[in-house]
Each structure stands twice: as structure tokens, then as C-alpha cells.
Amino acid sequence: MDRAFASKFAKSVFLTVCGLIVLMYIGSRFFTHVDLALYGYMVGTVVFICGFFYRFIAWGERPPTKIIIKKGIKLLFRKSTPKTSADHLVTYRFIWNRGWWRWLQHILLGWGCIISAMVTFPLVFGWMYFTMEDNGFYTVVGFGLDIMTIPADGFLAYLFFNALNISAFMVIGGVCMALYRRIKNMQAKAEQTFVYDFLPLYLLLFVSITGLLLTVSNMFLHGWGHPVMSLIHQWSVIMTLIYLPFGKLAHIPFRPLSVFARNYREHYGQQAMKPCSVCGTPFVSMEQSGDVVDVLKQNGMQFNMEDGFNLAELCLPCRRKYRLSRFTGIPTHTIPVKEANQNAKG
């Protein structure tokens, strides 16, 4: 089977696209409920899948990533995994330590994008659609099965039909908060670039605004300008999907792997801690310390010092002092400890 493909990337993309077609065939009742008006989004999604697998495989082939994925899978069924998953993927509790502003910004951006994806992709691939009954009720159909029947003028129907509008307002709010912080915060201004930091925000803002303008055209302008605005919105979504795997927005689909990293640190940290080779303070697990040294060897970087230890076996304060001492010749005991430059409370 492997010899039929030019690379692991080609095999993964082929199998994923084939699986997607099979799900479309089943979910849309043999392609009878595929909306051709959404064809552009479908093509953009396929291109996004190709880009995502290219990025993921290139990232997954790195030695440290292999370790996290391999050991993370083994630790996936820990008792703490549900709580860790909720903290990292639902409530974003780890960002709360950096301040409520950044937490709310990520909540609006993250859940705005998730809600829009949960609505858009099932509609694009025909996995979900609505049928109107004669008695003024809508039937929600998912994968060819009637899920629920709701009144057309009810609150639940209002949420279903306006889910993309709600998510657009959430994304716009999150983008505006992120832009304000990047303009006002001195540390962010020093670290950011237009292409990497601002362009993703502008793309999300453009997609959200053009999507809301479609609703404005239908509700208040009697459909005036709808065909043109629909085309503009569709192209903005397609360009964002194509760009997503290769820019800063790639951390959205990569985010679930943070659960692996958290489980890795917690599990091996409970077993045995590695003391710093200089001050003796435990700073990392024995497992992680050994993995770091092995990864450095695989990359041809063996930081073995003349004093008989590896640089990776020092805690961060001692590592900074040691490097400053080697560069400047100043004795390490006269160098004050430099704290990490993080705006975090925990």
C-alpha cells in the first residue's frame, strides 16, 4: 500500500479525501442534498486538508514532536485528561493566568471560529440540512436521520439560523481586542510582524464582516448586492482556509495536542524530578530531562560543558547565569538571577 504513493503526505491526503467523499455520500443521502452554491467552500476545504497534512506531517517528523505524540497517546486515558481537555480546549483556563483581557479575547476568537466551523462544514458537505413541514415546523436532518423538529418561529430555530451571525460578532469582538492589545502593548509591538501577527486577524475580520453583510442584504436591502457580496465572502473564506495551515492560525487545529504535552509533564513530574546540576533545585522531570538531551543529540547539538554536565541539566536561572558567565568571564556567583519575562501570575 505504501508503494502506491509518493510520500506519507500523499497517502494521508488521499485517504482523508476518500473518507470525506464517503461521508458526503452517506450524509447527503447519496449526494442528493449537496448545495452547489457552496461548491467553492468545498474545494477550499479540500485544499485546506492538503495544507494541514503537509504542515502536520512536517511538524510531526521533528524528534521532539515524535516524543510528545508517542508518549501522549500512551497517557491519553489518564484520569485527569477530561479536566485537562476542558481547561485547554473549552474554558481556556490557562490563559486566564495572563489576564482577563487575553482570556476573553481567546474565548471570543476560539469559540467564534469553532461555532462557525461546526455550522459551515456540515452544511457544505451535506451532513446537515433542514426540511420545511406544512405545519410551520422545521426538521433538522443529520446524516440522513431526522434529529429534531422545531417551530420555524421558535427560539431554537432562531439560534440555528443565526449561528453564523453570532459567531461573526464573536470573532469581530475578539479581533478588535487583539488589535487593540497589539497596538497598545509595548511588548507585543516589539515582537509582532504584519504578515504573521496582523494578517490573520485582518482575514478573520474580513470574513466576518462580509458574512454579516450577506444578512444585512437579505433582511434590510431585499437582496440588493447579494450575488456580488456572496462571491466576495466565498473567496475570503477560501483564501483564509488555504492560508490557515501555514500561518499563525494553524495553532487552532493543532491546539488539541496541548493536552498531550500537559499529560506528559504531569505524569512524569509525579514520578521523579531532575535536580539542577548546579543548585540542586528540582526543575523538570527525569523523563523530560533525558528526552531533551536525546533530542539535542539527534540534532547534532550536544551541549556538554567542561564542568561535567549538560547545559540542558540546569534550571533556567542557573542556565542564564552560566551562559552569561561563559560569555563575559564574570563569576557566576556575582550574577543576579534573571526572572522570566512573562506577564503571568501562575
Q: Residue 189: what pLDDT? A: 74
User: Considering Cα of 54, then 55, then 61, then 65, what sign does the dihedral take?
Assistant: negative
Q: Residue 16: what pLDDT? A: 85
> What is the pTM assigned to this prediction?
0.80
pLDDT digits (tens, 9 = 90+) for 97-108: 888 888 999 999
* Degrees, nearest 5: CA angle 81-82-83: 90
Strand partners, 285: 273
* Degrees, nearest 5: CA angle 160-106-69: 100
Instruction: Provide the 3-class DSSP secondary structure of residue 34.
Output: coil
Give the residue ranges of the chain where pLDDT is below 50: 339-346
Residues 270-300: b if buried by 16+ CB within 10 A, e if exposed = eeeebebbbeeeebbbebbbebbbebbeeee
Amino acid identity, residue 22?
V
Q: Residue 334: what pLDDT? A: 55
Q: Residue 76: what pLDDT? A: 87
Q: For residues 84 and 263, is the Cβ–Cβ distance under 8 A?
A: yes
Domains and CATH numbers, the chain: 2-259 (1.20.950), 271-334 (no CATH)
d(CA 190, CA 3): 49
Instruction: Provide the 3-class DSSP secondary structure of residue 284.
Output: strand
Half-sphere exposure of 282 (CA within 13 A, CB side): 11
pLDDT digits (tens, 9 = 90+) for 12-46: 888 888 888 888 888 888 788 777 778 888 888 88
DSSP state of 275: E
